[in-house]
Amino acid sequence: MELRHIRYFLAVADERNITRAAEKLHIAQPALSRQIQQLEDLLGLPLFIRGSRPLDLTEAGRHFQTHALQLLNQSKHLISSTRNIGKVEAKFTMGFVGSLLYGLLPEVARRFKEAHPHVDLSLQEMTTLEQIRALKEGTIDAGFGRVRHEDPNIRRILLREEPLMAAIPANHPLAERESLSLQDLCPETLILYPEAPRPSFADLILQAFHDRGLAPGRTVDARELQVSLGLVAAGMGVTVIPKSGLGLQRPGVVFRPFDEERLVSPVLMSLRVEDDSIYVRSLLALIYDIYRLEGIQHVEETF
Ligand code: BEZ
Protein backbone atom coordinates (compact mmCIF):
# COMPACT_ATOMS: atom_id res chain seq x y z
CA MET A 1 0.00 0.00 0.00
CA GLU A 2 1.23 3.46 -0.91
CA LEU A 3 0.42 6.87 0.59
CA ARG A 4 -1.32 7.58 -2.70
CA HIS A 5 -3.94 4.88 -1.92
CA ILE A 6 -4.65 6.54 1.40
CA ARG A 7 -5.05 10.01 -0.13
CA TYR A 8 -7.40 8.66 -2.81
CA PHE A 9 -9.45 6.65 -0.32
CA LEU A 10 -9.85 9.66 2.01
CA ALA A 11 -10.97 11.89 -0.88
CA VAL A 12 -13.68 9.39 -1.89
CA ALA A 13 -14.75 8.87 1.75
CA ASP A 14 -15.01 12.67 2.20
CA GLU A 15 -16.94 13.36 -0.99
CA ARG A 16 -18.98 10.12 -0.80
CA ASN A 17 -18.94 10.30 -4.58
CA ILE A 18 -16.30 8.93 -6.97
CA THR A 19 -16.79 11.58 -9.70
CA ARG A 20 -16.41 14.56 -7.34
CA ALA A 21 -13.40 12.95 -5.62
CA ALA A 22 -11.72 12.40 -9.02
CA GLU A 23 -12.26 16.10 -9.85
CA LYS A 24 -10.84 17.16 -6.52
CA LEU A 25 -7.78 14.96 -7.05
CA HIS A 26 -7.41 16.06 -10.70
CA ILE A 27 -7.37 12.49 -11.98
CA ALA A 28 -9.71 10.55 -14.28
CA GLN A 29 -12.59 8.75 -12.61
CA PRO A 30 -11.71 5.26 -14.00
CA ALA A 31 -8.15 5.66 -12.68
CA LEU A 32 -9.50 6.55 -9.23
CA SER A 33 -11.91 3.59 -9.25
CA ARG A 34 -8.98 1.29 -10.12
CA GLN A 35 -6.90 2.62 -7.22
CA ILE A 36 -9.76 2.06 -4.74
CA GLN A 37 -10.26 -1.45 -6.14
CA GLN A 38 -6.52 -2.15 -5.74
CA LEU A 39 -6.70 -1.02 -2.12
CA GLU A 40 -9.71 -3.24 -1.39
CA ASP A 41 -7.97 -6.18 -3.08
CA LEU A 42 -4.90 -5.58 -0.94
CA LEU A 43 -6.97 -5.49 2.24
CA GLY A 44 -9.15 -8.40 1.09
CA LEU A 45 -12.46 -6.69 1.94
CA PRO A 46 -14.69 -3.88 0.65
CA LEU A 47 -14.31 -0.38 2.11
CA PHE A 48 -17.46 1.05 0.46
CA ILE A 49 -20.95 -0.43 0.23
CA ARG A 50 -21.42 -1.12 -3.48
CA GLY A 51 -24.41 0.61 -5.12
CA SER A 52 -25.05 3.01 -2.19
CA ARG A 53 -25.80 6.63 -3.20
CA PRO A 54 -24.15 8.67 -1.71
CA LEU A 55 -21.36 6.17 -1.17
CA ASP A 56 -21.38 4.67 2.34
CA LEU A 57 -18.38 3.21 4.16
CA THR A 58 -18.46 -0.35 5.43
CA GLU A 59 -17.50 -0.98 9.05
CA ALA A 60 -13.96 -1.83 7.88
CA GLY A 61 -14.04 1.36 5.77
CA ARG A 62 -14.85 3.50 8.84
CA HIS A 63 -12.02 1.90 10.79
CA PHE A 64 -9.65 2.44 7.87
CA GLN A 65 -10.77 6.09 7.50
CA THR A 66 -9.93 6.96 11.15
CA HIS A 67 -6.47 5.46 11.04
CA ALA A 68 -5.67 6.50 7.47
CA LEU A 69 -6.31 10.13 8.44
CA GLN A 70 -3.85 9.87 11.33
CA LEU A 71 -1.27 8.25 9.06
CA LEU A 72 -1.63 10.99 6.46
CA ASN A 73 -1.24 13.73 9.11
CA GLN A 74 1.82 11.98 10.50
CA SER A 75 3.38 11.82 7.07
CA LYS A 76 2.73 15.55 6.53
CA HIS A 77 4.32 16.30 9.92
CA LEU A 78 7.29 14.09 9.04
CA ILE A 79 7.87 16.01 5.82
CA SER A 80 7.60 19.48 7.38
CA SER A 81 9.64 18.65 10.50
CA THR A 82 12.42 17.12 8.39
CA ARG A 83 12.47 20.16 6.10
CA ASN A 84 12.71 22.39 9.18
CA ILE A 85 15.84 20.65 10.44
CA GLY A 86 17.95 22.45 7.84
CA LYS A 87 16.46 25.77 8.97
CA VAL A 88 16.91 25.31 12.72
CA GLU A 89 19.27 27.99 14.04
CA ALA A 90 22.54 26.76 15.46
CA LYS A 91 23.50 28.19 18.85
CA PHE A 92 26.99 29.12 20.01
CA THR A 93 27.82 30.40 23.47
CA MET A 94 31.12 31.93 24.56
CA GLY A 95 32.09 32.20 28.22
CA PHE A 96 34.55 34.95 29.09
CA VAL A 97 36.27 36.62 32.03
CA GLY A 98 35.32 40.28 32.48
CA SER A 99 38.71 41.80 31.64
CA LEU A 100 38.56 40.42 28.07
CA LEU A 101 35.48 42.51 27.39
CA TYR A 102 37.61 45.68 27.44
CA GLY A 103 39.94 44.33 24.77
CA LEU A 104 39.36 42.17 21.72
CA LEU A 105 36.30 40.18 22.78
CA PRO A 106 33.73 42.56 21.21
CA GLU A 107 35.64 42.44 17.90
CA VAL A 108 35.86 38.63 18.07
CA ALA A 109 32.10 38.36 18.71
CA ARG A 110 31.26 40.87 15.96
CA ARG A 111 33.35 39.00 13.39
CA PHE A 112 31.91 35.65 14.44
CA LYS A 113 28.35 36.97 13.95
CA GLU A 114 29.33 38.38 10.57
CA ALA A 115 30.83 35.03 9.49
CA HIS A 116 27.85 33.00 10.79
CA PRO A 117 24.74 35.20 10.56
CA HIS A 118 22.39 32.20 11.06
CA VAL A 119 24.03 31.27 14.39
CA ASP A 120 22.43 32.51 17.59
CA LEU A 121 25.52 33.77 19.48
CA SER A 122 25.46 34.47 23.23
CA LEU A 123 28.17 35.73 25.57
CA GLN A 124 28.25 34.79 29.26
CA GLU A 125 30.61 36.28 31.82
CA MET A 126 32.14 33.58 34.07
CA THR A 127 35.46 32.71 35.66
CA THR A 128 37.93 30.43 33.87
CA LEU A 129 37.06 27.56 36.23
CA GLU A 130 33.33 28.06 35.70
CA GLN A 131 34.05 27.88 31.96
CA ILE A 132 35.57 24.41 32.37
CA ARG A 133 32.43 23.16 34.11
CA ALA A 134 30.15 24.87 31.58
CA LEU A 135 32.08 23.34 28.66
CA LYS A 136 31.72 19.85 30.16
CA GLU A 137 28.02 20.41 30.83
CA GLY A 138 27.58 21.68 27.26
CA THR A 139 26.21 25.09 28.30
CA ILE A 140 29.02 26.98 26.53
CA ASP A 141 31.01 26.08 23.40
CA ALA A 142 34.18 28.08 23.96
CA GLY A 143 35.69 29.80 26.97
CA PHE A 144 38.12 32.72 27.16
CA GLY A 145 40.02 33.15 30.39
CA ARG A 146 43.36 33.89 32.03
CA VAL A 147 43.88 31.12 34.59
CA ARG A 148 45.76 28.00 33.48
CA HIS A 149 43.96 24.75 34.26
CA GLU A 150 44.34 21.07 33.50
CA ASP A 151 41.40 18.85 32.60
CA PRO A 152 41.55 15.78 30.36
CA ASN A 153 38.24 16.71 28.71
CA ILE A 154 39.24 20.26 27.89
CA ARG A 155 41.60 21.51 25.22
CA ARG A 156 43.43 24.64 26.30
CA ILE A 157 44.88 26.89 23.62
CA LEU A 158 47.26 29.66 24.64
CA LEU A 159 46.15 32.45 22.31
CA ARG A 160 48.74 34.99 23.40
CA GLU A 161 50.60 36.45 26.34
CA GLU A 162 49.18 39.90 27.00
CA PRO A 163 51.47 42.52 28.57
CA LEU A 164 50.53 43.85 32.01
CA MET A 165 50.43 47.54 32.97
CA ALA A 166 50.48 49.38 36.27
CA ALA A 167 47.56 51.71 37.10
CA ILE A 168 48.67 54.55 39.38
CA PRO A 169 46.88 57.58 40.87
CA ALA A 170 47.64 60.52 38.53
CA ASN A 171 49.09 62.60 41.38
CA HIS A 172 51.41 59.84 42.67
CA PRO A 173 55.21 60.33 42.23
CA LEU A 174 55.37 57.01 40.29
CA ALA A 175 53.16 58.62 37.63
CA GLU A 176 56.20 60.75 36.67
CA ARG A 177 58.03 57.63 35.49
CA GLU A 178 57.78 56.26 31.93
CA SER A 179 57.93 52.62 32.98
CA LEU A 180 57.85 50.71 36.26
CA SER A 181 58.92 47.43 37.83
CA LEU A 182 56.97 45.25 40.26
CA GLN A 183 59.50 46.29 42.89
CA ASP A 184 58.37 49.90 42.50
CA LEU A 185 54.87 48.80 43.57
CA CYS A 186 55.96 46.95 46.72
CA PRO A 187 55.73 49.97 49.09
CA GLU A 188 52.21 50.74 47.81
CA THR A 189 48.84 49.25 48.67
CA LEU A 190 48.16 46.73 45.91
CA ILE A 191 44.52 46.43 44.86
CA LEU A 192 43.75 42.89 43.66
CA TYR A 193 40.73 41.57 41.72
CA PRO A 194 38.54 39.65 41.33
CA GLU A 195 37.93 38.98 44.97
CA ALA A 196 36.38 35.54 44.39
CA PRO A 197 36.45 32.76 43.36
CA ARG A 198 40.14 31.89 43.55
CA PRO A 199 42.46 31.08 41.85
CA SER A 200 42.00 34.14 39.65
CA PHE A 201 43.85 37.02 37.99
CA ALA A 202 44.66 38.20 41.55
CA ASP A 203 46.73 35.04 42.14
CA LEU A 204 48.51 35.48 38.82
CA ILE A 205 49.68 38.91 40.01
CA LEU A 206 50.71 37.64 43.46
CA GLN A 207 52.63 34.81 41.75
CA ALA A 208 54.46 37.36 39.57
CA PHE A 209 55.65 39.13 42.75
CA HIS A 210 56.58 35.81 44.35
CA ASP A 211 58.53 34.61 41.26
CA ARG A 212 60.73 37.71 41.58
CA GLY A 213 61.31 37.22 45.29
CA LEU A 214 59.00 40.16 46.10
CA ALA A 215 55.89 40.64 48.20
CA PRO A 216 53.46 43.55 48.05
CA GLY A 217 53.42 45.54 51.27
CA ARG A 218 49.67 45.59 51.76
CA THR A 219 46.87 44.18 49.61
CA VAL A 220 43.21 45.11 49.30
CA ASP A 221 40.61 43.05 47.42
CA ALA A 222 38.22 44.56 44.88
CA ARG A 223 35.28 42.80 43.24
CA GLU A 224 36.42 43.51 39.67
CA LEU A 225 38.67 45.57 37.39
CA GLN A 226 36.41 48.64 37.19
CA VAL A 227 36.11 48.80 40.99
CA SER A 228 39.87 48.40 41.29
CA LEU A 229 40.44 51.39 38.95
CA GLY A 230 37.88 53.43 40.89
CA LEU A 231 39.89 52.79 44.07
CA VAL A 232 43.10 53.83 42.29
CA ALA A 233 41.37 57.06 41.17
CA ALA A 234 40.42 57.63 44.83
CA GLY A 235 44.10 57.34 45.79
CA MET A 236 43.60 54.10 47.73
CA GLY A 237 46.47 52.24 46.08
CA VAL A 238 47.82 50.91 42.79
CA THR A 239 46.73 47.98 40.67
CA VAL A 240 47.93 45.84 37.78
CA ILE A 241 45.81 45.42 34.65
CA PRO A 242 46.11 43.59 31.33
CA LYS A 243 47.00 46.01 28.53
CA SER A 244 43.52 45.69 27.00
CA GLY A 245 42.23 47.53 30.09
CA LEU A 246 43.78 50.70 28.61
CA GLY A 247 40.37 51.26 27.05
CA LEU A 248 39.14 52.04 30.56
CA GLN A 249 40.96 55.39 30.80
CA ARG A 250 39.48 57.47 33.59
CA PRO A 251 40.35 60.79 35.21
CA GLY A 252 42.74 60.46 38.13
CA VAL A 253 44.40 57.26 36.86
CA VAL A 254 47.46 56.84 34.65
CA PHE A 255 48.72 53.61 33.12
CA ARG A 256 52.42 52.79 32.92
CA PRO A 257 54.08 49.83 31.17
CA PHE A 258 56.46 47.53 33.02
CA ASP A 259 60.09 47.57 32.03
CA GLU A 260 60.12 43.77 32.03
CA GLU A 261 58.78 41.96 28.92
CA ARG A 262 57.96 38.78 30.80
CA LEU A 263 55.25 40.47 32.88
CA VAL A 264 52.32 39.06 30.97
CA SER A 265 48.91 37.46 31.47
CA PRO A 266 47.94 34.51 29.28
CA VAL A 267 44.79 34.76 27.15
CA LEU A 268 43.47 31.20 27.00
CA MET A 269 40.80 29.62 24.88
CA SER A 270 39.16 26.45 26.23
CA LEU A 271 37.25 23.94 24.12
CA ARG A 272 35.86 20.43 24.55
CA VAL A 273 38.62 18.05 23.37
CA GLU A 274 36.36 16.26 20.92
CA ASP A 275 34.92 19.45 19.43
CA ASP A 276 36.32 20.26 16.00
CA SER A 277 33.14 21.81 14.59
CA ILE A 278 33.28 24.42 11.84
CA TYR A 279 32.34 27.03 14.46
CA VAL A 280 35.29 26.47 16.80
CA ARG A 281 37.67 26.21 13.84
CA SER A 282 36.34 29.43 12.38
CA LEU A 283 36.48 31.15 15.80
CA LEU A 284 40.17 30.33 16.21
CA ALA A 285 40.93 31.37 12.63
CA LEU A 286 39.24 34.74 13.01
CA ILE A 287 41.06 35.44 16.30
CA TYR A 288 44.37 34.80 14.53
CA ASP A 289 43.20 37.09 11.69
CA ILE A 290 42.63 39.91 14.21
CA TYR A 291 46.05 39.33 15.80
CA ARG A 292 47.76 39.48 12.40
CA LEU A 293 45.82 42.60 11.43
CA GLU A 294 46.65 44.36 14.69
CA GLY A 295 50.27 43.14 14.75
CA ILE A 296 49.70 41.28 18.04
CA GLN A 297 52.45 38.79 18.85
CA HIS A 298 51.17 35.21 19.16
CA VAL A 299 51.94 31.61 18.23
CA GLU A 300 49.32 29.80 16.12
CA GLU A 301 48.01 26.34 16.97
CA THR A 302 46.34 24.15 14.37
CA PHE A 303 43.42 21.77 14.71
C1 BEZ B 1 42.35 38.62 23.25
O2 BEZ B 1 42.32 39.66 23.90
O3 BEZ B 1 43.38 38.18 22.75
C4 BEZ B 1 41.06 37.87 23.09
C5 BEZ B 1 39.94 38.25 23.80
C6 BEZ B 1 38.78 37.54 23.63
C7 BEZ B 1 38.70 36.46 22.78
C8 BEZ B 1 39.83 36.08 22.08
C9 BEZ B 1 41.00 36.78 22.24
Residue nearest to atom 7 of ligand 1 (CA): 105
Cβ of residue 99 lying under 6 Å from some atom of ligand 1 = no
Q: Which atom of ligand 1 is nearest to the CA of 160?
A: 3
Kindly report, residue by residue over 200-248, the tens digit of the pLDDT. Answer: 899 999 999 999 999 999 999 999 999 999 999 999 999 999 999 998 8
Q: How far apart are CA 40 and CA 116, in angstroms?
A: 54
Cβ of residue 284 lying under 6 Å from some atom of ligand 1 = no
Q: How far apart are CA 107 and CA 120, in angstroms?
A: 17
pLDDT the model gives residue 195 = 84
Chain Cα centroid distance, residue 270: 13
Measured in angstroms, how far is the CA atom of residue 290 from the centroid of ligand 1?
A: 9
Residue nearest to atom 2 of ligand 1 (CA): 104
Kindly report, residue by residue over 62-120, the tens digit of the pLDDT. Answer: 999 999 988 887 787 677 666 655 555 689 999 999 889 988 999 999 999 999 999 99
Contacts of 271 (CB under 8 A, 6+ apart): 135, 141, 142, 143, 154, 155, 157, 280
Measured in angstroms, how far is the CA atom of residue 293 from the centroid of ligand 1?
A: 14
pLDDT the model gives residue 197 = 83
Cβ of residue 112 lying under 6 Å from some atom of ligand 1 = no
Cβ of residue 103 lying under 6 Å from some atom of ligand 1 = yes
Kindly report, residue by residue over 182-209, the tens digit of the pLDDT. Answer: 999 999 999 999 888 888 899 999 999 9
Measured in angstroms, how far is the CA atom of residue 156 from the centroid of ligand 1?
A: 14
Measured in angstroms, how far is the CA atom of residue 204 from the centroid of ligand 1?
A: 18
Cβ of residue 97 lying under 6 Å from some atom of ligand 1 = no
